[in-house]
Amino acid sequence: MTLSWIITVYTLWQMVEMHEIVPGKRFDRYHELGQHAFGDKLGLWIVVPQQLVVEVSLNIVYMVTGGNSLKKFHDVICDGKCKDIKLTYFIMIFASVHFVLSQLPNFNSISGISLAAAVMSLSYSTIAWGASLDKGRAENVDYSLRASTTAGQVFGFLGGLGDVAFSYSGHNVVLEIQATIPSTPGNPSKKPMWKGVVVAYIIIAACYMPVAFIGYWAFGNSVDDNILITLNKPKWLIAMANMMVVVHLIGSYQIYAMPVFDMMETFLVRKLEFAPGIMLRLITRTIYVAFTMFVGMTFPFFGGLIGFFGGLAFAPTTYFVSIFIRHLSSQQIYTQSFS
């Protein structure tokens, strides 16, 4: 996990540097950078499918996780005194917030939500590892592999790699975020962006690593995919932490949905000649939120979703696509300088 964090920070630094790798031009979208490196058509086919898989799958997972956290909050507060409510309804409640927030036009308009999400992430992570440490090691804790067959162990290993890649998935939105930062020759956008990335990934390390290590120490292989589901006491603290998760996921959903909204609306306006405006935004974004809600309700398997999507698309976009783009871009610049 530590090695993955180091590699991720390095490849993210490459992305930040490549935002203005061509003097006088800014690559504000991931696919624009891919087109610069691989060509107009090939760049689109290499980058866009992977980026869409990452962002859409994240939004689906956030739907499921948000619903799970709301259900856990309900169950902890009620303490068996309330009627049991299916997870499906909690996913719908979580989605209802996004039907409204998805109408915000761009990244600048969700900056306050993003800040709240970051604060909540640090807060509930601290509660999670603190409560696990206070609880101590569970009786008969088992640190062996969950699967007993070779095939199960292989899939478990690959799923674990997917989980780690899932934890560091900022590459797919970093250029879109950097595009909102003013840039001049004397003060290029990469300087403040890199400072922000360093701070963000230090916070990410402070959030995820203690939870992963202490959670595994306390519960072994019986820990849930969301450790706050495993914990039950103190009730008021666990309930509060789950609501913090909900706030964090609300902000995260919007961050990863915004590039998808941009792609959808750009395609409809440029290719299908739809009229841009509020009505187009209302229809396309509502349909997208409804789609992620429906898929989340249909496949509410949080752990399996992370492992599957992590292995399929998170690993390439996180670990090596940016390295290929950097290498090809450097070759192009070198060739042009001697032509």
What are the boundaries of each domain within the chain? 2-337
Q: What is the pTM of this model?
A: 0.82
Q: Quick check: 326 and 19 in contact, CB under 8 A?
A: no
pLDDT > 90 fraction of the chain, expressed in percent and rounded: 12
- Determine the residue type at 185: P
Q: Quick check: 317 and 50 in contact, CB under 8 A?
A: yes
Cα–Cα distance between 187 and 25 in angstroms, integer?
15
C-alpha distance from residue 237 to each of 77, 123, 207, 223, 243 (Å):
11, 11, 17, 19, 10
Cα–Cα distance between 178 and 252 in angstroms, integer?
17
Q: Quick check: 37 and 31 in contact, CB under 8 A?
A: no
Q: What angle do CA 195, 200, 206 make, to 5 degrees?
A: 130
How does pLDDT run across 111-139, given as a tens digit for each residue? 788 788 878 888 888 888 887 787 777 77
C-alpha distance from residue 8 to each of 5, 118, 250 (Å):
5, 19, 24
Cα–Cα distance between 283 and 266 in angstroms, integer?
14
More confident position, 338 or 328: 328
Cα–Cα distance between 163 and 166 in angstroms, integer?
5
User: Given a cut of 60, is residue 216 above it in pLDDT?
Assistant: yes
Comparing 45-59, 126-140, 256-270, which segment has the lowest mean pLDDT?
A: 126-140
More confident position, 89 or 134: 89
User: pLDDT-based confidence at 338, cuts 50/70/90?
Assistant: very low
How does pLDDT run across 16-42, given as a tens digit for each residue? 888 888 777 888 888 888 888 888 888
